[in-house]
């Protein structure tokens, strides 16, 4: 019975906190009405949350039509703590610092070849730098998220096709050096979590990330779906061409060997006989009506539409988001992609360019950190945050 009472109090506190987070400002009476908890319980929980500095009172609201005292409004204390979120690409490292409402405080990206030798020092250096700036915040840096471009299961890196981070126990190595909670997660999963937290209230969605590979983060009934050993959403390793190009996963003809940004850039460099060309060069050539770039981009969109069609048919999402620099920079590609999704299973499902753009992975890490810090099963923070500072 003691455990049951404790669980009930804990659940009530989480319910109140979630309601408060989802509303910019709200009174105790409004919380009571929305949660179904009596006013005394809500008031007691609110006072405890104020003591913990999770929330604060921000002044009076409007009185009811019958008059009486104006209610005191409550609000999440966004500056009670900071989240630190790191994205480890194979050729870059990015980090993002946010407040507890997801508002971006700082962002930086550094070009560097990431591997098992330097990644721990890279993360530790970023953490130490940000700890100095977080010293005045009540809870400091609440936790650290690390995005991996590969398969991750329970903080364990299972497979990384384009760098060697699957050869080390990154979680335990970091835990010995960093004393805050650490969450290691697949980058596409984090992008999906970002969309669920900042972009939409639908219960089922798929977020497709097109970077060095092609992956999908899947939200089912408001929860991130991992599958066995974190292997869900590896759509880049579905077969597009039987007996096609070799893939690091061991298959041949995988989707990401034809439709990832890494693959299309490699083809562009090879056809142009210049291995120094960049994705920006490809985009510039496309906008200048270069025949090679135009055909490569068209093929990219065609292959991606096949992948999206297969994902919709498999998971039945209410919405699909696309995260891709190419699609962001050439938005007309979205129309081409959707025109190629003609199946009766898929054609009615909205496919959208993510408004979170290049921040999606890192904001997903922030969402994960905030959700775990407040012990919430799900989280909705509303409109997409924008960066207050970028370096």
CB burial of 43-56 (b: ≥16 within 10 Å; e: otherwise) equals ebbbeebeeeebbe
Q: In angstroms, rounded to a whole number, what is the distance separating the alpha carbons of residues 83 and 358? A: 18
Which residue in this structure is represented by tokens 């049951």? Answer: 4
What pLDDT score was predicted for residue 6? 52
What pLDDT score was predicted for residue 24? 84
User: Which residue range forms the structural domain that includes residue 120?
Assistant: 80-193+359-373
Q: Is residue 238 part of a domain?
A: yes
Helix (H) or strand (E) holding 293: helix 291-315
Helix (H) or strand (E) holding 125: helix 119-133
For residue 381, CA distances in Å to 145, 199, 264, 295, 374 come to: 18, 9, 35, 41, 13
Q: Is residue 253 part of a domain?
A: yes
Closest CA to 305 of 355, 240, 220, 361: 240
Prediction pTM value: 0.88
What lies within 8 Å, CB to CB, of 359 at 6+ separation is 96, 104, 107, 194, 385, 387
Q: Are residues 134 and 239 in the same domain?
A: no
Q: Are residues 224 and 344 in the same domain?
A: yes
Q: In angstroms, rounded to a whole number, what is the distance separating the alpha carbons of residues 40 and 116? A: 54
**Positions in the chain short of pLDDT 50:** 1-3, 386-391
What pLDDT score was predicted for residue 60? 82
Q: Is residue 264 part of a domain?
A: yes
Closest CA to 374 of 25, 41, 123, 78: 78
Concatenated DSSP letters for 307-365? HHHHHHHHH--SEEEEEEHHHHHSTHHHHHHHHT---TTTTTS-EEE-TTGGGHHHHHH
Q: Are residues 209 and 332 in the same domain?
A: yes
Q: Are residues 34 and 131 in the same domain?
A: no
Q: Is residue 19 part of a domain?
A: yes
Q: Is residue 379 part of a domain?
A: no
Q: Are residues 177 and 207 in the same domain?
A: no
Q: Are residues 123 and 219 in the same domain?
A: no
What pLDDT score was predicted for residue 334? 94
Q: Do the beta carbons of residue 37 and residue 47 sit within 8 Å?
A: no
What pLDDT score was predicted for residue 70? 86
Q: Do the beta carbons of residue 149 and residue 90 sit within 8 Å?
A: yes
What pLDDT score was predicted for residue 388? 39
Residue 235 DSSP class: G
Helix (H) or strand (E) holding 280: helix 279-287
Partners of 223 in beta bridges: 220
What pLDDT score was predicted for residue 2? 39
Q: Is residue 38 part of a domain?
A: yes
Total domains, the chain: 3
Q: Are residues 180 and 251 in the same domain?
A: no
Q: Are residues 277 and 327 in the same domain?
A: yes
What lies within 8 Å, CB to CB, of 37 at 6+ separation is 12, 15, 16, 31, 45
Q: Is residue 103 part of a domain?
A: yes
CATH of the domain at 103: 3.30.420.40
Q: Are residues 165 and 88 in the same domain?
A: yes
* pLDDT tens digits, one per residue of 36-94: 999 999 999 999 999 999 999 998 877 655 556 788 999 999 999 999 999 999 999 99
CATH of the domain at 64: 1.10.10.10
Q: Do the beta carbons of residue 192 and residue 205 sit within 8 Å?
A: yes
Q: Are residues 178 and 317 in the same domain?
A: no
Closest CA to 327 of 305, 353, 289, 294: 353
Q: Are residues 345 and 367 in the same domain?
A: no
Which residue in this structure is represented by tokens 């700082």? Answer: 106
Partners of 213 in beta bridges: none
Q: Are residues 217 and 307 in the same domain?
A: yes
For the chain, give the longest Cα–Cα distance: 78
What pLDDT score was predicted for residue 188? 93
What pLDDT score was predicted for residue 378? 85
Closest CA to 143 of 85, 89, 103: 85
Q: Is residue 387 part of a domain?
A: no
């Amino acid at each position: 019975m003691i455990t049951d009472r404790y669980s009930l109090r804990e659940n009530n506190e989480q319910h109140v906190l979630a309601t408060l987070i989802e509303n910019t400002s709200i009174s105790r009476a409004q919380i009571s009405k929305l949660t179904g908890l009596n006013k005394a319980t809500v008031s007691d929980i609110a006072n405890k949350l104020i003591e913990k500095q999770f929330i604060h009172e921000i002044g009076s609201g409007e009185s009811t039509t019958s008059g009486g005292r104006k209610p005191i409004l409550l609000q999440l204390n966004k500056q009670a703590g900071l989240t630190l979120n790191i994205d480890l690409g194979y050729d870059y490292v990015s980090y993002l610092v946010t407040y507890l409402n997801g508002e971006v405080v700082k962002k930086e990206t550094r070009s560097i070849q990431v591997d098992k030798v330097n990644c721990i020092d890279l993360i530790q250096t970023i953490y130490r730098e940000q700890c100095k700036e977080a010293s005045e915040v009540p809870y400091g840096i609440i936790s650290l998220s690390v995005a991996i471009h590969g398969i991750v299961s329970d903080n364990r890196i299972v497979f990384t096709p384009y760098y060697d981070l699957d050869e080390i126990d990154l979680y335990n190595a970091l835990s010995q050096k960093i004393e805050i909670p650490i969450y290691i997660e697949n980058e596409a999963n984090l992008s999906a979590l970002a969309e669920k937290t900042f972009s939409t209230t639908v219960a089922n969605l798929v977020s497709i990330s097109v970077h060095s590979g092609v992956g999908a983060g899947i939200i089912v009934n408001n929860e991130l779906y991992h599958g066995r050993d974190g292997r869900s959403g590896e759509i880049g390793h579905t077969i597009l061409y039987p007996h096609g190009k070799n893939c690091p996963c061991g298959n041949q003809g995988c989707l990401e060997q034809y439709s990832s940004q890494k693959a299309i850039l490699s083809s562009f460099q090879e056809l142009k006989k210049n291995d120094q060309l960049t994705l920006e060069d490809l985009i510039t050539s496309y906008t200048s009506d270069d025949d090679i770039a135009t055909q490569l981009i068209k093929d990219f969109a065609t292959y991606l539409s096949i992948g999206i069609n297969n994902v919709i048919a498999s998971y039945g999402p209410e919405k699909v988001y696309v995260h891709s620099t190419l699609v962001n920079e050439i938005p007309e590609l979205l129309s081409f992609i959707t025109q190629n999704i003609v199946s009766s299973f898929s054609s009615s499902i909205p496919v959208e360019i993510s408004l979170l753009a290049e921040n999606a992975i890192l904001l997903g890490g922030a969402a994960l950190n905030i959700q775990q810090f407040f012990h919430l099963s799900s989280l909705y923070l509303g409109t997409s945050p924008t960066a207050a500072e970028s370096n």
